Structure 1
Amino acid sequence: MQSNEFIKGTIRTIILRLLAQQKQMYGYEITQRVAQLSQDEIKLTYGALYPTLYKLEAEGLLVTTTEIVDNRARKYYALTPEGKKLAKVKVSELQRFTEILSAILTDAPKTKMTLKWQS
């Protein structure tokens, strides 16, 4: 998948979801898990991943710990309680949006679809 615009719009939700599933993960582990789950269709670059991780941390949604592994420092990321709540909301919103988008793209409207856009 070459379209970075889709990845850019969903990277926060992807990270939040992965961290909600795991106790903690480090950056390279996140990139590898995304590649694995997407069958190498989505490849997160470090230039996209780390600014997002830093922003989530600054917003109080992630906490970090550092461990020494093979004589190298490895920074692990984990969700705060607020991050766990937001992960549920964001995943739900994205799932609903993809359902609606699928209906639009297949020209098959679902019954009682509502999506409120927030400005």
Structure 2
Amino acid sequence: MIDSQLYKGSLQPILLKLLQDNGKMYGYEMTQKIKLMSNNQLEIKEGALYPALHKLEAQGIIEVEAEKIDGRIRKYYKLTEFGEKESVNRLQSIVNTLEQLQQLLQPKNI
């Protein structure tokens, strides 16, 4: 079983990685990709997704493009030039944090 609280704090890096790997994506597409990649263990709700995306947009890390699809406006999110660089830094930071946690939780005999 997955601890959703741990994922809650990792949502922004997960979104950055998705955008880094897939280019522009829309919100529902992101939630479905996360669900697929986690083998249906993690389901991101709109109430968590869009505030995280808006925060990344306010920080200048992502930008929004609107396209009309079948008479409806669909918002696509993509990394800005600054966001491409910043996502590398943030993703490396979370990798470092995970390595530290692993050392703390599974220490080798000292």
Same fold, judged at TM 0.5 (above): yes
Structure 2 residues not aligned, in runs of 5+: none
1:27 maps onto 2:27 in alignment: yes
Residues of 2 paired with 1:3 and 1:71: CA distance?
Answer: 39
1:82 CA drift (Å): 1.0
What's the Cα RMSD here? 1.5
With the length of structure 1 as denominator, give the TM-score of the two structures. Answer: 0.84
1:2 CA drift (Å): 5.2
Q: Secondary structure at the match of 1:64?
A: strand
Match of 2:66 in 1: 66
Moved over 4 A (4+): none
1:6 CA drift (Å): 1.0
Match of 1:4 in 2: 4
Residues of 2 paired with 1:85 and 1:57: CA distance?
Answer: 15
Any idea what the Cα deviations from partners look like across 1:36-58, whole Å, max 9, x if unmatched? 11111111111000001011111
Q: Secondary structure at the match of 1:108?
A: coil
Number of residue pairs matched by the alignment: 109
1:79 CA drift (Å): 0.5
